[in-house]
Chains A and B, each alone.
Chain A
């Protein structure tokens, strides 16, 4: 069974640009969560999507957005990139929404560097 797949793995963007990251969940999983990981802040929850609906949202500015498609694949977008957006962005999937206690499984992440 294939795991969570994230693309691209590495990317470099310039301040002010926008970026889109993609996540394919484990087959049969309907929930996708996104996290930002930086050395000083640990894992910060961005948002969760279940059945194409945003279920929860973390404390991030509106520049961070996401969506989920009917096949459960998800994308997140960051507009007007800032240097502080440099981080590892992790996607995780679970069978059902996480508030129901479902275990989440992470992808390898997308390393974003903003210069």
Chain B
């Protein structure tokens, strides 16, 4: 099935740095969701976005629903070692009875 284009695929950053990742699609989405998955665990919901232009924060995390409704980004400020994991974007397309679509994930490594 269709997947979102999520980038970067992986990133290595120093502790304390800010991180930015994004998801894009050729289709319009009604909802954008961001999840984090720790090794061996299921994905955990970080932020849910429901309106174009919406900017939502959850602690050091900030996500935005793109104005065009075809993209979203997630920022992490002042990264810490426990931010390590895989971050997934997901979205609901604006077309009929379709399931949630996922990006392939961004693997984040934080160097202390």
Name A residues whose Cβ lies closer than 8 Å to a Cβ of B.
Answer: 4, 6, 33, 42-45, 48, 55-56, 58-59, 90, 92, 97-99, 101, 103-109, 111
Contacts and interface: CB of A to CB of B under 8 A. Distances in A.
B71 to A, nearest CB: 17
A37 to B, nearest CB: 9
Interface residues on B, range: 20 to 34
Q: Is the interface of B mostly helix, strand, loop or mixed?
A: loop
Contacts of B44: 106
Contacts of A44: 1
Given A42-B105, A107-B42, A99 B99 contact: yes
Interface stretch (B18-26, B29-37, B59-67, B73-81): B29-37
A34 to B, nearest CB: 10
Interface of B: 1, 3, 30-31, 33, 35, 40-45, 48, 50, 88, 92, 96-100, 102-105
Contact of A58 (B33, B43, B99, B105): B99
